[in-house]
Amino acid sequence: MATTDETESTTPNNPRQMLGEFIRVQRQMANLSLRQLSALTEISNPYLSQVERGLHEPSIRVLKSIANALNVSSEILFEQAGLFTSTEDPGSEATEAAIRTDRRLSEAQRHALLGVYRSFLETSEEGD
Amino acid sequence: MATTDETESTTPNNPRQMLGEFIRVQRQMANLSLRQLSALTEISNPYLSQVERGLHEPSIRVLKSIANALNVSSEILFEQAGLFTSTEDPGSEATEAAIRTDRRLSEAQRHALLGVYRSFLETSEEGD
DNA sequence: TCTCAATGCTGTGCATACCAAGCATTTGGT
DNA sequence: ACCAAATGCTTGGTATGCACAGCATTGAGA
């Protein structure tokens, strides 16, 4: 069982595994055992264990509960769950659209925020 | 049989029903039948029907597919699904969600952009 | 009238999310 | 050494997501 060994890769390709590992790291950083997290989330510890090992795709309710217990914003968890990355248009103008339609900002503020956003895009990746 | 009637309320309290009605409205605005949406999403039309009527809580994969087919940003769908209402304040945070999930930004850039955005909110409207 | 296509909805069944109980290993106290 | 408690994991069962086939209704055209 040595040669065909399947030790966990440090960067799992499977989005389920990525999500699970992310949750496990967050839990360990919070110094919580599986049972403690189970008590906080009201989700059974065996299932949490399986989720962390990428054996199951947790439901929205479970993800929300975990995010809440670990004080991780839900969006980040869903991002880790591969929610926004696959079928969505990846060059998304979602951020621009959100800024433009944000009624809490004045027009000048929208303009400024878009400027900052676009400058970030240029500095980070130029080729697209 | 009239008094104990249970006609659907115009503003359903159940988050499942809210999500379902939101999806139904979006589908009808796109002039799509259940079967057409079914073809786009590769999700059976009976199940779509049940989701729209709030009889089931769709999985992440289904939600993502629906959002994609209806050209609705996933974040908005999840907000409708009552996803972000736990740890964060449930206001109009579409912009924050968009920034947070923007894969073209680094984490530092996201943080910075959120900082700018929040500072704008404070200066423009304080009492809401 | 009848027909036929398109709509949304109902049943039945399989796959999977999720839980309760218990096992294997480690750690620390006596 | 023994025991007790805590850790993560395995097993078997139940609830629910989801699909396939088909029903009921409506509307257009012959």
**% chain B with pLDDT above 70:** 71
pLDDT at B23 over 80: yes
More confident residue, B92 or A53: A53
* pLDDT 10s digits, B81-111: 666 654 333 345 678 777 877 778 887 888 8
- Protein-covered nucleotides of chain D (CB closer than 7 Å) are 6-12, 16-22
Query: For tokens 């049940």, what's the residue?
Result: B50
Cβ contacts of A26 on chain B, cutoff 8 Å: none
Cβ contacts of A81 on chain B, cutoff 8 Å: 60
The verdict on domain B10-87 having CATH code 1.10.260.40 is yes
Q: Which residues touch strand D (CB under 7 A)?
A: A 33-36, 45-46, 49-50, 52-53, 59; B 42-44, 46-47, 50, 56-59, 61-62
* pLDDT 10s digits, A67-95: 999 988 776 777 766 666 444 444 556 77
Distance CA B86, CA B13 (A): 16
Question: Quick one: A15-80 is in which CATH superfamily?
Answer: lambda repressor-like DNA-binding domains (1.10.260.40)
Domain ranges of chain B: 10-87, 92-128
DSSP-H helix ranges across chain A:
15-29, 34-41, 45-52, 60-70, 74-80, 94-100, 107-124
**Closest-CA residue in chain A for B97?**
A75
